[in-house]
Structures are given as C-alpha cells and as structure tokens.
Structure 1
Amino acid sequence: MMNIVLGVTGSIAAYKAADITSSLTKRGHNIDVILTENGSKIITPITLQTLSKNKVYMDMFEEITPKEVKHISLAEKADIVLIAPATANIIGKIAGGIADDFLSTVVMAAAPHTPVYIAPAMNTNMYENPIVQDNIDRLKRFGYHFIEPKESMLACGVLGKGALADVDDIVRIIEGSIK
C-alpha cells in the first residue's frame, strides 16, 4: 500500500480525478486529495472525499494545529505525489518555486525526497506554448516525472495533444513507480 497525495487542479479533466481516486483506493492505496480552488469549480470535494475515504484539503489555513503543520506532514507521509490533471498554472508555479496554495506548498515540501508525477491536461496551444514546454523541461531536469498527455478531441473542440492520459495508464505508471 502506498500513501499517495493526489493534487487536482482546474483543468476540465478534473472530473477524471474521481476515477483515479477510485481506482487507486480500490487497489488498497491511501489517497489524500488536495483540491485547488479552481479544481473545486469542476469537481466537488465531497466526491473525492467519498471515493478516497479521507478529508479533501483545499485551504492551507483551515485547520491550524500546534503539533502539526499539515502541508509538511502530508509531504512527509507521501510515498508519491501525483498531480492529475495539472494545468499550465501549477506547472509554472512549481517551475518558478512559487508555493502560495496548499498544493504548491506540499509539492515544495515533498520534492526532491518524494517522487512527484505530473499529468498535464490543457488545450494544445497552451501545452505547446514555449513557456509551458520550458517549465516542463526545467522540472524534468530537477527530477520531476511527467505522464504525457494524449492527442484527442479536446473539450474546446480542437483535435490535438493536451488531453489527460488515460486513467488506466496513470494508475499503472503510479503503481509501477514504487519498487
């Protein structure tokens, strides 16, 4: 059993986080979900909480306990961090060392001690933007792992690369990453 922190961002593919959570939970893994504010506009915390059987974290300052700093304790507990779907925004934040929300602070506290897997999902033009590609290359140099998006008909009606990888592929990669 792995302790997996799943970050869910504001891509339209956020609804697929339910399938990722369900699949990994059914395989016996513990999933702690961090849902960004924008992600919560697409999928509700209650859905992910029900499927993970754990509290869904959104607000870094919601629960302040003197004996635990939650973004640090989640990072230390995690065997792996998975961001699926990952927007250009979160990729840029991480590449720039910005830690201004719950997810980005957990990632900063986890890496490089804990493997971080990022599964981008965005419009083709956004994905192919040289700034986004530079951020991806930068993160790869720092040891972050990427689960490549697939080519598909995107939500915006464009056929191109940028769709979230298949849930089964994401689960297989994550399960195969811990030896």
Structure 2
Amino acid sequence: MSPEKSHFVASSARREGYTHVLLMTTGSVASIKAPLIVQELLTYNHVAVEVVATKPSLTFFSADDIRKQGVNVWTDDDEWDPNYKIGDPILHIELRRWADVVLVAPCSANTLSKIANGSCDNLATSLLRALAPTTPTYVYPAMNTLMYEHPLTAQHIRVVTDVIGYNVVGPVSKGLACGDVGVGAMVEWRDIVHSVVEKFSLTRSASVDPTAS
C-alpha cells in the first residue's frame, strides 16, 4: 500500500458541491475503455472520480493511464494495511461513503455472479456488499454471447435488479473481442458517461471543446 493512499477517509476526500463518481472495472476486455470514461467524466464541472479495479481488469488497461489524470486506482492490495489497528479507516467502507453513484463498467460474468450471490471476496465486491441501498448503482454487463445466454445469467440479473435494486444496462449486440458476433458487449462508453451527466444535470467545463469527444 502506497503511503499517499493508505488513509483514504471519505469525510476529508469528499468535495463540497461535487458529484463523486466511483467507477468499478472487472475482468472483461471492455475494461479497456476505463481511461476514456474517466477522461470524459472529468470534462464536466465539479466531478470527482475514484476507480476500483479488480486484478483481472488490469489486464486490459494501465492504471497509470488513469492515475496521470489525477484519479486514484484502488486494488485489493490497498484494502488492508499490514499494520491495521482497530479504528483505522477501512477502504471499502470509506469508498462507499464517498460515492454518490457507482458504475460497474464493465461487469464480467464472474462479478455479476458474485454480486447476485452476495460474495465479498475482493475490494470491489466488499464495497458493493457494504453499499447503502440509496446509492444509485449502474451495472453494465460485458461477456461472451454464450456466457450471457447461460441460464444462470438471467437469474443473476433478476436478483441484481429485483432484489438488490441496481440498474442493469445492456449488454448490446456487436462483434466481440473473441471473434464471436452476438449479444454480450458493454454499451457504448459515452452512454455510460451520459447516464451520470443526465442524472446529476452536469455541465461541461467551458474550457472543453464540446466537439472534441
């Protein structure tokens, strides 16, 4: 755990008047879009972003591409300090206190299963299990078509929407990274950003060229 990240506390990290967006990436190739999502979110006024990345998701993007934008990328290695003492901040609790909205983009078949079954075996799923039900949470599935069509996927989505109360958006049909063509791709990354813009009535910074994206 790096010293600058070892004591994240929501009460001091939150910024008055800001929308606090927590982006969670999981083990789908669509995680490659994470730096673009972060970059686009930061073109809006009064938006702060934190990223929670599962280890498999970092196969598809470099955390440094996000960190150089001034945004933290949190992983399982950051969760518990070897010198932890009772009363010290707990990262998954502080991050869920910080977030105004959570985007699970992309949500792999594995993480979807974990959410539906209440698993909390990593930073991402522990955060979701501890999340207040009043926190808007959007899940963007991304997986191979046959994984999406597996009977358990429909059951998992039903639990995530009807029992837990998250908003599941997509997937969509297109050519997939594996070469198959069918339903399973994450929705367009700009649409993910737009969902936050629309919900919180965000306005773009005057210094940003609106045609640039």
> Which category of TM-score, normalised to the shorter sequence, fits these structures?
over 0.9
1:17-41, Cα deviation, whole Å (9 max, x unpaired): 1111111112132110001010112
Quote the residue 1:2 is aligned against: 19
Quote the residue 2:209 is aligned against: none
Q: How many aligned residue pairs are there?
A: 178
Task: Give the match's secondary structure for 1:90.
Answer: helix
Structure number with bigger Rg: 2
Quote the residue 1:116 is aligned against: 137
Contact 2:24 2:52 (C-alpha < 8 Å) held by counterparts: yes
User: Any runs of at least 4 consecutive aligned residues in structure 1 with deviations exceeding 4 A, and if so which?
Assistant: 62-66
> d(CA) in 2 for partners of 1:8 and 1:62?
22
Quote the residue 1:17 is aligned against: 34
The residue type equivalent to 1:21 in the other structure is: V
Task: Give the match's secondary structure for 1:26.
Answer: coil
Give ranges in structure 1 of 5+ residues lacking alignment: none
> d(CA) in 2 for partners of 1:178 and 1:104?
25
1:47-80, Cα deviation, whole Å (9 max, x unpaired): 12223x1221002225857431111011011000
> d(CA) in 2 for partners of 1:48 and 1:132?
31
Quote the residue 2:12 is aligned against: none
Q: CA deviation at 1:8?
A: 0.6
Contact 2:80 2:90 (C-alpha < 8 Å) held by counterparts: no
In the TM superposition, what are the counterparts of 1:148-163 in structure 2 within 5 Å? Answer: 148-163=170-185
Query: How large is the Cα RMSD of the aligned pairs?
Result: 1.6
> d(CA) in 1 for partners of 2:21 and 2:180?
33
Task: Give the match's secondary structure for 1:21.
Answer: helix
Quote the residue 1:94 is aligned against: 115
Quote the residue 1:140 is aligned against: 161
Task: Give the match's secondary structure for 1:5.
Answer: strand
> d(CA) in 2 for partners of 1:23 and 1:41?
22
TM-score after normalising by structure 1? 0.93
Quote the residue 2:90 is aligned against: 69
The residue type equivalent to 1:119 in the other structure is: Y
Give ranges in structure 2 of 5+ residues lacking alignment: 1-17, 202-213
> d(CA) in 2 for partners of 1:177 and 1:99?
28
Q: CA deviation at 1:136?
A: 0.6
Quote the residue 1:175 is aligned against: 197
Quote the residue 2:65 is aligned against: 47
Identity of aligned residues (%): 33
Q: 1:84 aligns with which of 73, 98, 105?
A: 105
Q: 2:126 aligns with which of 95, 102, 105?
A: 105
> d(CA) in 1 for partners of 2:185 and 2:132?
25
Q: Is residue 2:152 matched to residue 1:131?
A: yes
Q: CA deviation at 1:113?
A: 2.5
